[in-house]
Structure 1
Amino acid sequence: MANESTPASRSTSSKTLDITGDRDLGAQVESKVAEIAPSDEDGPSTLPHEEPANSPHTSSETLDLAMDVDLEAQLESGKVDEKTRGPPHGPSTLAHNDPAHPVNWSKSRKVLVTVVLCVWVLTLTYSSTAYVASIPTLMQRYHISEEVALLGVTFTVFGFSAGPLLFGPASELYGRRIVYSAAGLCYSAFSFAAAFAPNTASLLIFRFFVGFFGSAGMNNVPASIGDYTTLMERGLYSITYAIMAFGGPSLGPLVSAFIQHDAGWHWNFRVMAIFCTVLSIFVAFVPETHGPTLLKWRKAKAGNAPPPVKLSQIVAVLKVGLSRPLLYLFTEPVVMVVSFYFSILYGILYGFFEAFTVVYLEIRGFKTTSYGLTYIALGLGFVTAYILLATIGQQLYVKSTEESAAKGVPTPPEARLSLTYLGAVMSPISLFLFAWTAPFPHVHYIVPCIAEFLFSCSIMLIFTGFVPYLIDCYQMTSASALAAGLFSRALVGSIFPLFTLQMYHGITVQGATSLLAGISLLLAPIPFVFRAYGTTIRGRSKHITAQ
């Protein structure tokens, strides 16, 4: 691919699944720090336009990054028009036909990397709910109430919300691998620390940092998948991420109930720590996938490394990069709507978990281990959704790409949402079914288990549609878009466990679950809104790459 391209060639490259630049001027700042002294020997780039190596703008050793920050502010205020500042572009990256580009990896290598990264995500989601099995023992050991003990879940999920604001942009500035390695080391250390916490305060602090550092995988793995997959492949690999991200909360209570019963709380916590440590070691060997970082390494190896960067330049880059998730969350219509939907559904998911202890332990009188087995229904729902997405969902996406190719236009990101519509309808139905069958012992327990099955299947269909949707929309800065979504949904998810147990006791299982079902019903039209007005909504977003 040539370094220079016309608008026509940019259109062609989008049709052939090339990654194009991003309109985000924050990304321009990032690019300039990595390319203070580029030369015409630097290799291919996907920049829409690239200036000559002797250009004063690109060869200056003292780039004033504040100018770019100021330019972004002027653009926001309307002083600088999109047309007057030239074509949009983002950080330069490897071309798709470059053999070193991760998109050209073998299928076996892509599968192996995906499995390692996604199982690493599973270790975090597993530990977020495996903790619950030890709550009665923790109450006795630390002499605390059930509400205080539940804060161990809240603090972990709250860590999910804080971590992405750092790790998402950091992976776009410095690459995925270094972020994974550093976060994995701390994630493992705090997991072991929680297993030996001397008091309640230290336990809650350690649990927060488990969520904080573990969120590096939770947030960045979808972006990594976007790095090394084509649009056609991305859906299948994203399904693997989703089943690990949402399968963990159902696997946690199932396995930990037996560990807690047979070996005690210390071993329950140690299993979490060992699980995450082993996977963190594997993740440290995962190769770099971030295109701009790989290009920067190539330049350094060729002797074209940039001169030392001044502290003021680093601060300017970090200011733009770290603020990007919040900028997206409050200014990008696509991210705002998707994050709002994710947040409420995530809160409902964690609130729904609180109903199980009330229904199966208090009302139906199940034993602890038997209660844990009810989570199999949730797991089966996730697996069923996986099968639906990998078969019917993928076929529908292929059909959409063929129709778009026949019309000579790129495949719209909304093609990812084909089964999301089914999930949006199924979610409130499943909650209503659980509400009016679960708390009545004369109704066989298989009926509320079917409701759990339908609910987990619906959640999987919804999230697995919108995660690759965001990746397709934002491409080079998808980690920041995903960070905005994870921040908001984890923040809401961390709050729900604080009051849902009291809600289930106060207004009964029927009332509380019906309330969650009603909220889910109000949100159900959102995917259909994207189907009808997706192009218009994306048109109002300044940082979207997809057209």
Structure 2
Amino acid sequence: MAPALIRDAFVGDVLYHVSGHRLFQHPEDRPGFTIPIPPRSIKSSRSGSASPSNLETATAIERPDDEESRLPRVDSDQSTIAVPEASEEQRPARRKAAEVEEGDLAGEKEKASVQQEIAESRIVEWYGPDDPEDPQNWSTAKKSFVTFEICMLTFSVYIGSAIYSPGIGEIAEQFGVSSVAATLGLTLFVVGYGIGPMFLSPLSEIPQFGRTTVYIVTLALFVVLQVPTALAKNLGALLPLRFLAGFAGSPALATGGATLSDMWAPEYRAVVIGLWSVAAVSGPVLGPTVGGFAAQSESWTWTIWILLWLSGAALAFLTFFLPETSASALLYRRAARLRRVTGDKQLKSQGEIEAEHMTVGDVAMMTLVRPFILMFVEPIVAFWNIYIALVYGILYIFIESFRVVFVEKHGFNLGENGLAFLGLFVGSILTYAVFAPYAVKVLKPRFLDGTFVPEMRLPIAFVASVFLPISMFWFGWTSSASVHWIVPIIASAFFSAGTYLLFQAGLNYLSDCYPRYIASVLAGNDFFRSMVGAAFPLFSTAFFHNLGVGPACSLLGGIAILMLPIPYIMYRYGAHIRSWSKYAD
């Protein structure tokens, strides 16, 4: 596992090219390698379809003379055996082409051009359904290791939002600004990672880049930005840096689920994406815990220095050990190697051809226009965006309200206040411990026997929708100093349980309903909920001071009750609503 792991990582790919393809070689680079050509890839509109006999006989593959000395030798009498064409599930690049619809490319003429080039090219695919280079065929140990890396990456970036919050009071005092102005450092970070996916996530779908390159380059920028942030001498310098850091760190938050889907079959994705969600929740939940002790012991700048150490350690580790998982990127690299080895310029991957024909307008439609179109014309998308955005906003208002409840009412210091957030963390861990067996016992069999429909994602949202108002009323009316501090902490655990289950149900349901437009749907959801989540902390302190914690939480709980019917309506009428849509499957 280790050589291939490092070879396909960022540093391995860089050294491969820098060394003139001598280090971290692939099978195609080694002497005596024979190139299997799937039957479909031999078809060409120039030469006609390959006959059955052609598929089984040897073909001589020649190389340019100027590369004779450094390329693996392919003897002229060596046979090239055709292998059975890979299944649709094993060939995401080709499946992607089948999903192209009107509006994805600039008009029918452009579509015809793409199909013509595909027909005239020798399409490079996996060397059969058991190709070990296909991430779907990696060992369970390798998939689990890469899953751990994605969780590490997500946590090291996501913690950057809330780790800042314990230092808000000191920042306001040091820079001579109001606490609301100082809170903008949290708000703009969230705004940054809400806007970032609209621009950065599409890069991971371009075969020439792939996911790992985007992750490493943007994470490196994120790490570098922490230095001037910690050294900022005024709010005017601090706030833009916080926005840029959130923007640069956003690919991990928006594309991590896609990386996991690259490796795991559909019946396992609920479990692994659920685990990744725990890492995502742990970031903003544990941020105040870490930041509280840092701000109390040193100063607010130490919250940023700790963020630098965490993200820097993740960058160093992932640069060496996070392999590329995108099928389009891996097949593009394979096609480039085969072109170099054989001199056959017709050898291309399907994703490569599609990317070459995409214009800036196509990308803008996918990332900047379509997310809003879907949000306004699709009731399913609109309602779930509103619901999840509300929960996200309450999560961030919770982060700010803990100071009112535990510092002002219970007399906690900053470090102890951070420990109060462990209730949220424990709630998400325990919920995953219940959710994972449910996904294995209930959802997995439905995938395997072919009876799965998107609405099967929603029963867990029934529980979540009830947990939210219960936790809000419970937290609000037990937050006074006369009630032991453990009681509202237990209430917060129910809130994180409801939040976790709602995110699992809602985001997976949207993915199942709109598989062809999942990038646009999730980008729009991420943008919408981030804007709401960014706004809530700005008025949180005044909200709780003016209304009182009990009435304020009751108001939020009342809103949660109004939203409660959404999962039930979607479960009952979702299939009927989808039947009206030209976007949903």
Category of TM-score, reference length = shorter chain: 0.7 to 0.9
Contact 1:3 1:44 (C-alpha < 8 Å) held by counterparts: no
1:455-534 map, 5 Å? 455-475=495-515, 477-534=517-574
1:410-489 map, 5 Å? 410-438=451-479, 440-475=480-515, 477-489=517-529
Contact 1:167 1:220 (C-alpha < 8 Å) held by counterparts: no
Shift, 1:240, TM fit: 1.5
- Corresponding residue of 2:133: 100
**How far apart in 1 are the matches of 2:361 and 2:223?**
32
Shift, 1:186, TM fit: 1.6
- Corresponding residue of 2:323: 287
Deviations 1:499-545 (A, max 9, x none): 1211111111111111111111111222222211222233334334x
**How far apart in 2 are the matches of 1:522 and 1:43?**
53
Contact 1:173 1:321 (C-alpha < 8 Å) held by counterparts: no
1:253 correspondence with 2:288: yes
Which residue of 317, 321, 335 corresponds with 2:362? 317
Question: Does the residue aligned with 1:37 lie in a helix, a strand or coil?
Answer: helix
**How far apart in 2 are the matches of 1:481 and 1:443?**
43
Contact 2:476 2:550 (C-alpha < 8 Å) held by counterparts: yes
- Corresponding residue of 2:402: 356
Contact 1:254 1:375 (C-alpha < 8 Å) held by counterparts: yes
Indicate how the Cα distance of structure 1 residues 310 and 177 shifts in structure 2: closer, same or farther if over 3 A, else same. Answer: closer
Shift, 1:3, TM fit: 5.2
Deviations 1:375-433 (A, max 9, x none): 1111110111110111234322134446xx2xxx4411222333222111111111011
- CA radius of gyration, larger in: 2
Indicate how the Cα distance of structure 1 residues 500 and 2 shifts in structure 2: closer, same or farther if over 3 A, else same. Answer: farther
Same amino acid, percent of matched pairs: 31
- Corresponding residue of 2:62: none
1:358-377 map, 5 Å? 358-377=404-423
Moved more, 288-297 or 380-389: 288-297
**How far apart in 1 are the matches of 2:468 and 2:568?**
14
**How far apart in 1 are the matches of 2:112 and 2:199?**
20
After superposition, the CA RMSD in angstroms is: 3.1
1:109-128 map, 5 Å? 109-128=142-161
Contact 2:424 2:492 (C-alpha < 8 Å) held by counterparts: yes
Which residue of 328, 331, 338 corresponds with 1:302? 338
- Corresponding residue of 1:380: 426
Contact 2:271 2:439 (C-alpha < 8 Å) held by counterparts: no
Shift, 1:122, TM fit: 1.0
**How far apart in 1 are the matches of 2:379 and 2:89?**
23
Shift, 1:351, TM fit: 1.4
Indicate how the Cα distance of structure 1 residues 16 and 215 shifts in structure 2: closer, same or farther if over 3 A, else same. Answer: closer
Shift, 1:355, TM fit: 1.8
**How far apart in 2 are the matches of 1:137 and 1:177?**
38
Equivalent residue pairs, number: 484
Contact 1:434 1:451 (C-alpha < 8 Å) held by counterparts: yes
Contact 2:472 2:557 (C-alpha < 8 Å) held by counterparts: yes
**How far apart in 1 are the matches of 2:570 and 2:354?**
43
Indicate how the Cα distance of structure 1 residues 347 and 32 shifts in structure 2: closer, same or farther if over 3 A, else same. Answer: farther
**How far apart in 2 are the matches of 1:496 and 1:305?**
53
Shift, 1:97, TM fit: 5.5
Indicate how the Cα distance of structure 1 residues 232 and 376 shifts in structure 2: closer, same or farther if over 3 A, else same. Answer: same
**How far apart in 2 are the matches of 1:176 and 1:31?**
26
- Corresponding residue of 1:63: none
**How far apart in 2 are the matches of 1:33 and 1:117?**
37
1:396 correspondence with 2:432: no
Deviations 1:161-208 (A, max 9, x none): 111111232322343223212221221121222111122111111111
1:204-283 map, 5 Å? 204-283=239-318
- Corresponding residue of 1:42: 123
Structure 1: gaps spanning 5 or more residues: 5-11, 46-93
- Corresponding residue of 1:155: 188
Question: Does the residue aligned with 1:386 lie in a helix, a strand or coil?
Answer: helix
AA matched with 1:441: A
Structure 2: gaps spanning 5 or more residues: 1-37, 42-86, 340-345
Moved more, 195-204 or 488-497: 195-204
AA matched with 1:265: W
**How far apart in 2 are the matches of 1:506 and 1:216?**
38
**How far apart in 2 are the matches of 1:113 and 1:243?**
16
- Corresponding residue of 1:64: none
- Corresponding residue of 2:52: none
Question: Does the residue aligned with 2:122 lie in a helix, a strand or coil?
Answer: coil
- Corresponding residue of 1:340: 386
**How far apart in 1 are the matches of 2:418 and 2:398?**
15
Contact 1:393 1:418 (C-alpha < 8 Å) held by counterparts: no
Contact 1:167 1:216 (C-alpha < 8 Å) held by counterparts: yes
AA matched with 1:116: E
Deviations 1:92-142 (A, max 9, x none): xx9866543211111111111111112211122212111111122212221
Contact 1:160 1:211 (C-alpha < 8 Å) held by counterparts: yes
Deviations 1:469-492 (A, max 9, x none): 333344465333221111100011
AA matched with 1:248: G
**How far apart in 1 are the matches of 2:113 and 2:473?**
54
Question: Does the residue aligned with 1:238 lie in a helix, a strand or coil?
Answer: helix
Contact 2:268 2:440 (C-alpha < 8 Å) held by counterparts: no
**How far apart in 2 are the matches of 1:360 and 1:371?**
6
AA matched with 1:185: A
AA matched with 1:144: V
Indicate how the Cα distance of structure 1 residues 101 and 26 shifts in structure 2: closer, same or farther if over 3 A, else same. Answer: farther
Indicate how the Cα distance of structure 1 residues 411 and 449 shifts in structure 2: closer, same or farther if over 3 A, else same. Answer: same
- Corresponding residue of 1:326: 372
Deviations 1:137-172 (A, max 9, x none): 212221211111111111111112111111232322
**How far apart in 2 are the matches of 1:131 and 1:502?**
19
Indicate how the Cα distance of structure 1 residues 397 and 100 shifts in structure 2: closer, same or farther if over 3 A, else same. Answer: same
Shift, 1:286, TM fit: 2.3
**How far apart in 2 are the matches of 1:474 and 1:95?**
29
1:538 correspondence with 2:578: yes
